[in-house]
Amino acid sequence: MTREDYADLLVPNVKYDRAYYEEKYPERNLDEKAIVTRYAPSPTGFIHIGALLQAFISSKMANQSNGIFFLRIEDTDQKRSIEDGVKLIIEDLSKFDINFDEGVTIDGEKGIYGPYTQSERADIYKAYIKDLIVKDLAYPCFCTEEENNEAREMQAAKKDRIGYYGRYAKCRRLHMEDVIEKVNNGEKFVVRLKSPGDFDKKYTFKDEIKGKMEFPENDQDVIILKSDGLPTYHFAHAIDDHLMHTTHVIRGDEWLSSVPIHTQLFRVLDFKVPKYAHISPLMKEDNGTRRKISKRKDPEAAVSYYHKEGIPNEAVRLYLETVANSNFEIWMNQNKDKDVSEFVLDFKKMPVGGTMFDYDKLINISKNYISKLKADEVYEFSLKHAKEYDEELYDLLTKYKDYSINVFNIEREQKKPRKDIACFSDVKNQVWYMFDELYNPENYEWQSITDKEEIKNVLDTYLNEYYNIEDDKDAWFNHMKEAAMKLGYAGDMKAYKENPEDYKGSIADFSTIVRVALTSKSMTPDLFEIMKLLGKDRMQKRVEMALQ
């Protein structure tokens, strides 16, 4: 039997040979510096904040170099796939402005280097597996799971390295005739790479982020084709990244130790080895120790969490920029008038070790971002969030659109805008007292003011005799001052501080009475604007409520 026939027996029905695919997927016609990279998730539908960071970095590196960013779905492990997984991934990423030039789309795919879903590429993989078998660079392995387990136990007992390599690679030594007999008997098998590596030798490579790395050479005869006819991830990614002309493999650093296997595959397959950039994980402090942020333990690991909290996607993106490059914040401070998209990401400025995930910082960025929005933008964001998460608020915002925008406009669109809204799930908490439907105070923050008669007196005098809704801010303040002085309060803080015993209190105490009576809160944004929006009737009702 020729090797060709032998390979045919092991991998039957291979339609085209490798030369066919090499021609079918020609080099990309791009600038020399252009980065071609991919996001290659399993379709589990879940996007981890670490994966978002990775997709963000990859997309930006490709965009800023006029390269290509594509989506490849890695579903060779069919157990991990879920029905709508791909759709959820695409939708979630696009919310963060991460879009693909090429690859799988919601209703198909785009680009000439497809199919972009690994389970649809079985024929392609087989062509290359067959080629390796013909060249005696790969071989079938009939070891059962039990045999492999036994071998591992034995290795462990002997304190030897675990795995299928060297003298433990039993099936490597099978004769062709034995293989043929086994196959004809219907025995199941996998295909393994005949690793040319030597564990005692060092393998060094340069990671774009981490710099020079050194590992032992790979000598494991890794599985490249499983018994279900699908390749393993290792093999599939090598074929795909070669045929799709990936220049940079950008991914999480849990893959770092696989590089010796991966580059070995590229070499055995006679492919150009891509550049590798391994992104450090986001870490969390847990009981004094640092660990990777985890899907199981941390709700904020899921990107959906940010939608639920109502943290604007732009704020999350800004946060990702700060994590991605250590010089981003400095750049931002020096380039206040520039758009963030002008910032150029650099592998060399990416953290080489784990980065602490700083939720407070993210919230702070979010707060600043929201503070710079216009009132109608805050309204739209709030409405959108409420529509999904808070029906009551949604109804109010819809019913009182203009009024709500005015509420959001208090102390906004000015040099030092209000910063009370950190995320859109916060909105109700910050504005509830401006809506009668929500105004049902549990307690009034009167603080040291306890004399009910006095409170009544202040409100009656001020609202009936001095308050005029037509007043501008200066007039409003002067009127409040006059009312305060008439009732024995100091009209300015200086006078009060000099002789406190001469007064019932200061203008601040006076305005606190008014504020608490109208809102139940001792701290609010600008009282003048609040009063204007409430109007006389509603204020009157609130005073009655407060006095009860």
User: C-beta of 233: minimal distance to ligand GLU in Å?
Assistant: 6
Dist. CA 165–CA 352, nearest whole Å: 31
**Using CB under 6 A, which of the segments 36-44, 127-135, 295-303, 305-313 binds ligand GLU?**
36-44
Q: Please give the structure tokens belonging to residue 456.
A: 């009544």
User: C-beta of 255: minimal distance to ligand GLU in Å?
Assistant: 6
Pick between residue 37 and residue 382 the one whose CB is nearest to ligand GLU: 37
Beta pairing partners, 107: none
**Using CB under 6 A, which of the segments 34-42, 328-336, 366-374, 410-418 binds ligand GLU?**
34-42
Binding mask 254-293 for ligand GLU (x = CB under 6 A): -x--------------------------------------
Pick between residue 347 and residue 432 the one whose CB is nearest to ligand GLU: 347
Residues contacting 364, CB < 8 A, separation 6+: none
Other CB atoms within 10 Å distance of the CB of residue 50: 25
User: C-beta of 443: minimal distance to ligand GLU in Å?
Assistant: 51
Dist. CA 252–CA 59, nearest whole Å: 14
User: C-beta of 184: minimal distance to ligand GLU in Å?
Assistant: 36
> Are the CB atoms for 96 and 109 separated by under 8 Å?
no
Quickly list DSSP for 36-87: EEEE---S-S--BHHHHHHHHHHHHHHHHTT-EEEE-B--SSGGG--TTHHH
Largest CA distance in the chain: 114
Beta pairing partners, 385: none
Number of residues located near ligand GLU, criterion CB under 6 A: 9
Choosing from 49, 52, 61, 74, the residue that interacts with ligand GLU (CB under 6 A) is 74
User: C-beta of 252: minimal distance to ligand GLU in Å?
Assistant: 6
User: C-beta of 328: minimal distance to ligand GLU in Å?
Assistant: 24
Binding mask 219-258 for ligand GLU (x = CB under 6 A): --------------x---x-----------x-x---x---
Kindly report the backbone phi and psi dihedral angles of residue 283, in degrees, each rounded to the nearest multiple of 5, phi listed first.
Answer: -115, 165
Pick between residue 280 and residue 404 the one whose CB is nearest to ligand GLU: 280
**Using CB under 6 A, which of the segments 35-43, 152-160, 274-282, 420-428 binds ligand GLU?**
35-43
User: C-beta of 172: minimal distance to ligand GLU in Å?
Assistant: 27
Q: Which of residues 97-116 bind ligand GLU (CB under 6 A)?
A: none
User: C-beta of 150: minimal distance to ligand GLU in Å?
Assistant: 30
Binding mask 39-68 for ligand GLU (x = CB under 6 A): -xxx--------------------------
Dist. CA 27–CA 215, nearest whole Å: 31
Dist. CA 78–CA 84, nearest whole Å: 14
Pick between residue 277 and residue 483 the one whose CB is nearest to ligand GLU: 277
* Angle, CA 355 vertex, CA 350 and CA 356 arms, to 5°: 150
Pick between residue 41 and residue 310 the one whose CB is nearest to ligand GLU: 41
Residues contacting 498, CB < 8 A, separation 6+: none
Pick between residue 152 and residue 234 the one whose CB is nearest to ligand GLU: 234
Beta strands across the sheet bearing 223-225: 138-141, 190-193, 223-225
Q: Please give the C-alpha separations between residue 160 and each of 150, 348, 437, 464, in angstroms, as whole numbers.
A: 13, 38, 72, 91
User: C-beta of 532: minimal distance to ligand GLU in Å?
Assistant: 56
3-class SS of residue 445: coil
Pick between residue 255 and residue 439 the one whose CB is nearest to ligand GLU: 255
Pick between residue 237 and residue 418 the one whose CB is nearest to ligand GLU: 237
**Using CB under 6 A, which of the segments 37-45, 142-150, 383-391, 519-527 binds ligand GLU?**
37-45
The residue to which tokens 């025995």 are assigned: 187
Pick between residue 279 and residue 530 the one whose CB is nearest to ligand GLU: 279
3-class SS of residue 284: strand
User: C-beta of 45: minimal distance to ligand GLU in Å?
Assistant: 13
Which of the 8 DSSP states describes residue 462?
I
Pick between residue 118 and residue 195 the one whose CB is nearest to ligand GLU: 118
Beta pairing partners, 252: 279
* Angle, CA 36 vertex, CA 34 and CA 41 arms, to 5°: 155
Site of interaction with ligand GLU (CB under 6 A): 40-42, 74, 233, 237, 249, 251, 255
